[in-house]
Structure 1
């Protein structure tokens, strides 16, 4: 499943680099440590892991993949919870949260229909609550409000695709902000990946991600390169490309490779556009032919090829080219040529609720005694910007377990005897 160790300090330095220091070290290290010990717990609740994957992500040492992806994961957890006696209400939307001076009182559920049966609105009282309702990435109005217009008069968020569920509209996040919960994060920051522009508007998933960026060049609709495609290993850089594409005209770009790259990355669900000449490729993509061909030829001329090694930060780089390509720079000269259209794909937003090591929601710096938060709703404490592969799952797993243990403890249920601080759960 994992071929070698990924030490805590290396993980921390990777996270520190991609976030530019915009992270809470204490909470980040909780997540990192939890990621090394959570797999047996996950297996005990029906999650099945698969062998290491090959391809451009270089994740055999750092990332464990589970069978069936995210849907299989949550379905396994739902089944396990129901076996333990937890009542799960599907297709039921919580529309409001009722508080009393920072203490949770009740959740309000709107009228809804399940399997053709109508249910009335309901007020559900409880002694504790865990908020895990996601970000606002599926709320087009909120995204527009956050991103506004750019210098070209475009509304960039209108061209964003949503990698996950259509239901993360931020209803409870907005309600908590209105109720005065302490906030963290920039509303424009998100886990945003460059995905295939042909992907569905919602729920395209990981198979729409384009992982060949570091093996070629990326151009915008004007046929120009705009960033170093070989800056670092792909797991540490794939999540910056959504935001980079968001800054381009029309929020569109193209990943260009040649035959040499085939077999070196995980192929996406949609085939690339192919042509035997750069001129024909430009014509098929409706790019300015002369500009596009010059961009690729300038790149080819600038390549200083040493020993190509896509598993290392090799010495294949460009010279005298802006922007430079610092690794894996090989001339694109072997047809056929391939192009994949790119658009920003939002996975989740980083604006969320401030918390601490107990996962408690805070109001004016004071922890709620019985209201806790996990997952995307608090990920901004660890991710001020940027992303590294798997950290979102690690945050959800670590703080989901902490929040659950703290909610249980707040109503008198015991937690791990190994825990030396009664307010702090053991992950």
Structure 2
């Protein structure tokens, strides 16, 4: 791995990859395997390398049959239908279908780069057929990619944020990066931007969310501030995606401001009810299967007073989901639980009482759209509705946990950036979060961010290497 002592400012690389996560490494490896010389600039220190990939667990890819770790087939058509469902039909259809087709090769390709899989985890995600889980999680997956990069002779520099890009009419010329307190110019024939979104830039988030963004918790890296994204947009690259849309889940309100990761996420919404600070419910907790709805709850909580909410359930549900890092708050009665949560006890008792009165009997099955529902309750609970009556009672306080933003650069089927006039950039490609908004306009399906990163990384890396040769 390159350090400053080995950095030669006169060298012109074939491919410069800006970023250090899954998408960046897939691009770097793909380009290197095509014969290109590659430099990766990771803005974070080595210990924190990899962006949000460090916190992931699985990847959602199309596949034709069961494997040692996947329980059955998951067709291109079904994956596309799932994408349409979570985005409300709003996606770049040709690009989405192309990426889904490419995803069929990714599981094997990642294995060839040293990544290993394990059987899926249990709980509410029920992903054993659709998603491949990384053995050791995202950090192990990332370490495997870095080992392969090193073996292939890819140069990587840490603590090397890019502070400026020289772009001339859609052609990348050079980048300026800082390392050890000094600035250095890096020249390359092609650029792959894989530096993430702007989720850790609270000031930028406030432009769209107002003061509510102060109460957002950032699940992943504090280094994704959107610096490269903003430079590209200012240089005439066409933007895509809604700046207010993001992957945002409900996470434990006691989590740290940054880098709390996946262990602060809460998957127990379907087992209880969610109330705001006024002790009233505000959305259907059983709208759809959890992997297709968990990423809407951050936005829902963000729209509540003071961006705080509480998941409330009883003893019958305590062991049905993967818990948070923090223990639930518990009390022998709903009234006492309200006191611990600083909620109006009378209102909370009425909210729970009205909900219980509306529950209709059915056969409970959290892995499917069961027939346990409510009647005469607003909002309804469409599935998995059971009375909250078995003491003791439990609650988790939750806040919006932002994973990544959907504003990005527009790309074509080669992952090549498009300029504002619609023409392809001469030598600039994008991969991962920085271009995810082409496919994800809103919503989320578990594991699809890793799919976009891996697929677009391979596409961008191959395209950049070919471009450099020409």
TM-score normalised by structure 1 residue count: 0.92
Is it true that 1:393 corresponds to 2:455 in the alignment? no
Tell me the SS of whatever aligns to 1:211.
coil
| 2:135 match | 67
After superposition, what is the alpha-carbon deviation per residue over 1:317-360, rounded to whole angstroms, capped at 9, x for unaligned? 00011000000000011111110111000000000000111001
| 1:185 match | 241
Tell me the SS of whatever aligns to 2:105.
coil
After superposition, what is the alpha-carbon deviation per residue over 1:389-413, rounded to whole angstroms, capped at 9, x for unaligned? 1110000000000000000010228
After superposition, what is the alpha-carbon deviation per residue over 1:276-316, rounded to whole angstroms, capped at 9, x for unaligned? 11111111111110001100110000000111111111111
| 2:371 match | 315
Instruction: Give the superposition deviation at 1:73.
Output: 2.4
Is it true that 1:32 corresponds to 2:89 in the alignment? no
What are the within-5 Å matches in structure 2 for residues 85-96 of structure 1? 85-96=153-164
| 2:88 match | 20
Instruction: Give the superposition deviation at 1:69.
Output: 2.8
Give the distance between the partners of 2:73 and 2:390, measured in 1 at CA. 37
| 2:62 match | none
| 1:125 match | 187
Instruction: Give the superposition deviation at 1:36.
Output: 2.7
Tell me the SS of whatever aligns to 1:128.
strand
Tell me the SS of whatever aligns to 2:383.
coil
Instruction: Give the superposition deviation at 1:37.
Output: 2.2
Instruction: Give the superposition deviation at 1:257.
Output: 1.0
Higher RCO, 1 or 2 (CA under 8 Å, sep at least 6)? 2
Tell me the SS of whatever aligns to 2:440.
coil
Structure 1: state its 5+ residue gaps. 149-154, 414-427
Give the distance between the partners of 1:332 and 1:196, measured in 2 at CA. 21
Q: Higher mean Cα deviation, 4-13 or 382-391? A: 4-13
Paired residues, what number? 401
Tell me the SS of whatever aligns to 2:118.
coil
Give the distance between the partners of 2:158 and 2:142, measured in 1 at CA. 13
| 2:383 match | 327
Give the distance between the partners of 1:405 and 1:384, measured in 2 at CA. 26
Tell me the SS of whatever aligns to 1:271.
coil
After superposition, what is the alpha-carbon deviation per residue over 1:208-235, rounded to whole angstroms, capped at 9, x for unaligned? 1100001110000110000000000000
Instruction: Give the superposition deviation at 1:96.
Output: 1.1
Is it true that 1:49 corresponds to 2:117 in the alignment? yes
Q: Higher mean Cα deviation, 225-234 or 5-14? A: 5-14
Equivalent position to 2:428, from 371, 392, 404: 371
Give the distance between the partners of 1:60 and 1:337, measured in 2 at CA. 31
Give the distance between the partners of 2:207 and 2:172, measured in 1 at CA. 29
Structure 2: state its 5+ residue gaps. 1-68
Tell me the SS of whatever aligns to 2:242.
coil
What is the alpha-carbon root mean square deviation over aligned residues? 1.1
Tell me the SS of whatever aligns to 2:402.
strand
TM-score normalised by structure 2 residue count: 0.84
